[in-house]
Amino acid sequence: MLEVKSLKKRFRLDNKTIKENKKKPKESLDVREDGHWFNAVRDVSFHCNAGEVLGLLGPNGAGKTTSLRMLSTALQPTEGKIVINGEDVIAQPVAMRKRIGFLSGTTSLYHRLTVRENVEYFGRLHGMSEEKLENEITKVFELLDIHSFADKKADSLSTGMKQRASIARTVIHQPEVIVLDEPTTGLDVISAKTILDFIESNKGSNVPVIFSTHHLHEVEKLCDRVVLINNGTAQFNGTLDEFRNISGTHNLYDSFVQLVGEKEVA
């Protein structure tokens, strides 16, 4: 189980921005700017049980990626708590990092290595035995439909192939939590479906899956729970059915727009 409680992250503004902001009317400033600070994440709480899939929604710049980077230990929160299976992630980030599978927008492969060599390398980094690694490669490559290009060098792959290979390296060590930041963005239909099928394969397992997306049909298809972040704050945290019922139309798009506002969607 993953629990996130009152997560916050702020960054210091550069001197130029601070000076420019002093000249602007207060009402024209971003609500997340506060003196010398930009509060990228102001208050985010949610939980995801084992075998559940949680969809993270929100406009561009809402704080989704910053939140996911804190979950992965790539960023240290300013305040808040992250707990995986009862253990404090913030207190022991190096140890907990081994138990998290995180795909970011910058997750990449070693271009001169084949897909198999890349995944083997990251599996060995996590201390997997050769037998366990080989068994897991067989399973993950099957789920992500990688076998046909497993022996191709990474620099010769299409965008969709690279993304599937990147997910394989992300989950090869059998993490206790899987975190995927917009895993299907920019992909062709077949690659996107393969990744969505992989996420669905984890439903009912002992692993919570959190993924951010702008595609509401993915949320409709996969998610048990939904969190919507806007201006750094979780404006909704609940089940898919609860999210669907916000608008009264049972339409996810209508619920999203009602929470975020027409102007920000546009």
Give the tens place of pLDDT for each residue, 62-83: 999 999 999 999 999 999 999 9
Mean pLDDT along residues 14-43: 86
CA atoms within 13 A on the CB side of 212: 22
- 1/176 Cα distance (integer angstroms): 8
- 23/34 Cα distance (integer angstroms): 14
Q: How would residue 263 be classed by pLDDT, with cut points 50, 70 and 90?
A: very low
pLDDT of residue 133: 97
Tokens 């207190």 belong to residue? 91
> Three-state SS for 247?
coil
- 240/220 Cα distance (integer angstroms): 8
**Residues near 190 by Cβ (< 8 Å), separated by ≥ 6?**
160
Amino acid at 223: C
pTM of the model: 0.91
Q: Is 100 exposed, middle or buried (0-12, 13-18, 19+ CB in 10 A)?
A: buried
- Phi, psi of 28, deg, nearest 5: -90, -10
> Residue 266: pLDDT above 70?
no
Calculate ∠ Cα 253-4-201, nearest 5°. Answer: 60
**Residues near 216 by Cβ (< 8 Å), separated by ≥ 6?**
57, 252, 253, 256
> Residue 59: pLDDT above 80?
yes
pLDDT, tens digit, 9 for 90 and up, residues 154-167: 999 999 999 999 99
Percent of the chain's residues with pLDDT above 70: 98
Domains of the chain (ranges, CATH numbers):
2-99+175-265 (3.40.50.300)
- 210/47 Cα distance (integer angstroms): 10
For residues 108, 111, 117, 122, the Cα torsion angle rounded to the nearest 10 degrees is -30
